[in-house]
Amino acid sequence: MNNLNEQLSSQVQGQVIVPGDPDYEETRQIWNAMIDRRPSVIVQCASASDVPVALAYAKANNLEISIRGAGHNIAGNAICDDGLMIDLSKMNQVRVDVDKRRAYVQPGTTLGDFDAAVQKHGLATPVGINSTTGISGLTLGGGFGWLTRKYGMTIDNLISAQVLTADAKQLTASESENPDLFWAIRGGGGNFGVITEFEFQLHPVGPEILAGLMVFPFEQAKQVLTQYRQFTQTAPEDLNVWVVMRQAPPLHFLPEAVHGKEVIVLAIFYVGDIEEGERLIAPLRDFGNTHGEHIGAQPYTDWQQAFDPLLTPGQRNYWKSHNFKELSNDALDQLIHFAGKLPTSQCEIFIGQLAGASNRVPANAMAYSSRDAKFVLNVHARWEQQSEDEKAINWARDFFKATTPFASSGAYVNFMTAEEGDRVSAAYDVNYQRLIEIKRQYDPDNLFHLNQNIKP
């Protein structure tokens, strides 16, 4: 194998890393510390031309293939045991065409890289809420965040992609070129090839937006959630309000006595005129008696990093997720019940609001089908020690089971763990059969199967 690795090294511009190399242990680490796998070979690509070389090497040596963008995915599919990991994390350049309002983005780009590049020009597109998330995994699974109510999901703003397929063909996927492949990659995950470049539509945003947190006592959770449900029915699409239920971090605007206590938090984002935003969010203060708040005009890029301290790499993570068309009283009761017995200090429940532009896209317009979802619930179990695995995972599973009767159809594949392969068909719902047919066309041997797999 050493001779083969030397041959591979001579054929790529990037770095070939194998067990025993100085960079190996660090390179094989990903965001979720529960995933501990050891590839035989890591090809850290320097350019798109390295990808087909790595792919050919893996096929010639009968090695399993995993694809790493930023390595942030909860399921840990970026890394394989004993196979070849195609590591795209060094390919993180963003080129902006200001006149066309387009961004051309390499697959190893993080959301922090992307936001920084496009905000230099006062532009943005809907992406997630944690700056260390990778653009590739986020986009291929759908992608939503603070701008989704106004501008849709990340995939709704994807114009084209460069795709290397299983037979080593480099294709452009867009509405006019290979439209079936374009349909499939918008939500279908990494099932259809390796993306070597994304092209996104950009929108004028910021550079300052209105954002921040209102923190209420946990004892007021029912009244806050009930009023939140009512408020979101008429809120304009420039405004997005999410709910977070967790133990209070040591935020500077909260009394010290509140730190470590269960709280309910409204995370607020407004993309329009600052004074108008202040007027619109004023009623939120009447939902209860706040412990404190920290809201004001700030750079969009700052708010995009606001939750990073709660999502640092190296912790053990396990997620469960549901879509909701509405938040029924019974669903709210279960939210409060499970938020009242968080198994560790880092666990949290969040409700992300989608209702708006993302709901106006037909369910069959692209692979992602959950266009009736107005809210996404993420049950985020997070902890440090392996000895806490059982209690944290059981809490998340019990919560998921208890809220299942009140959830709507579909699922957000980016929040699904590796064990949830049986949910894949339900996640894609009306689009699943077409995805199977496209998978048969572009990857009939299921070369790309370390994902939420669509079996051909």
The number of distinct structural domains making up the chain is: 3
HSE, side-chain direction, 13 A CA sphere, residue 442: 30
Per DSSP, 82 falls in state: S
HSE, side-chain direction, 13 A CA sphere, residue 3: 0
Q: Assign 343 to helix, strand or coil.
A: coil
Strands 170-174 and 158-164: antiparallel
102: amino acid identity, one letter: R
HSE, side-chain direction, 13 A CA sphere, residue 358: 29
Domain C-terminal end among 38, 56, 87: 87
pLDDT at residue 178, as a whole number: 98
Domain C-terminal end among 54, 87, 120: 87
Instruction: Say if 447 falls within a structural domain.
Output: no
Say whether both 251 and 309 belong to one domain: yes
Instruction: Say if 451 falls within a structural domain.
Output: no
Dist CA 429 CA 337 (whole Å): 30
Instruction: Say if 454 falls within a structural domain.
Output: no
Residue 231 burial class via C-beta count within 10 angstroms: exposed 0-12, middle 13-18, buried 19 and up: middle
Say whether both 124 and 193 belong to one domain: yes
Say whether both 407 and 295 belong to one domain: yes
Residue 46 burial class via C-beta count within 10 angstroms: exposed 0-12, middle 13-18, buried 19 and up: middle
Cβ–Cβ contacts within 10 Å for residue 67, how many? 27
Q: What is the CATH number of the domain that holds 64?
A: 3.30.43.10
pLDDT at residue 7, as a whole number: 83
- Cβ neighbors of 319 (< 8 A, separation 6 or more) are 74, 378, 379, 380, 381, 396, 415, 416, 417
User: Contact, 53 vs 74, CB < 8 A?
Assistant: no
The mean predicted confidence, pLDDT, of the chain is: 96
User: Which tens digit of pLDDT belongs to each residue from 339-368?
Assistant: 999 999 999 999 999 999 999 999 999 999
Domain C-terminal end among 70, 87, 104: 87
Range of the domain at 198: 94-205+432-442
Per DSSP, 175 falls in state: S
What is the SS3 string spanning 208-241?
EEEEEEEEEEHHHHHHHHHHHHHHHCCCCCCEEE
38: amino acid identity, one letter: R
Q: Which is nearest to 335 in space by CA: 365, 372, 378?
A: 378
Please provide residue 158's backbone torsions phi and psi, each rounded to the nearest 5 degrees.
-85, 125
- From first to last of its 456 residues, the chain has per-residue pLDDT tens of 566 678 899 999 999 999 999 999 999 999 999 999 999 999 999 999 999 999 999 999 999 999 999 999 999 999 999 999 999 999 999 999 999 999 999 999 999 999 999 999 999 999 999 999 999 999 999 999 999 999 999 999 999 999 999 999 999 999 999 999 999 999 999 999 999 999 999 999 999 999 999 999 999 999 999 999 999 999 999 999 999 999 999 999 999 999 999 999 999 999 999 999 999 999 999 999 999 999 999 999 999 999 999 999 999 999 999 999 999 999 999 999 999 999 999 999 999 999 999 999 999 999 999 999 999 999 999 999 999 999 999 999 999 999 999 999 999 999 999 999 899 999 999 999 999 999 999 999 999 999 999 999
Say whether both 320 and 278 belong to one domain: yes
Is pTM, for the whole model, over 0.85?
A: yes
User: Which tens digit of pLDDT belongs to each residue from 125-156?
Assistant: 999 999 999 999 999 999 999 999 999 999 99
CA 165 vs CA 16, 61, 162, 169, 442: distances in Å: 22, 18, 10, 5, 6
User: Contact, 35 vs 8, CB < 8 A?
Assistant: no
Say whether both 315 and 213 belong to one domain: yes
Dist CA 416 CA 370 (whole Å): 14
Say whether both 299 and 404 belong to one domain: yes
User: Contact, 221 vs 336, CB < 8 A?
Assistant: yes
Q: What is the CATH number of the domain that holds 104?
A: 3.30.465.10
- For residue 436, give the H/E element and its range: helix 432-442
Say whether both 217 and 148 belong to one domain: no
User: Contact, 92 vs 109, CB < 8 A?
Assistant: yes
Instruction: Say if 397 falls within a structural domain.
Output: yes
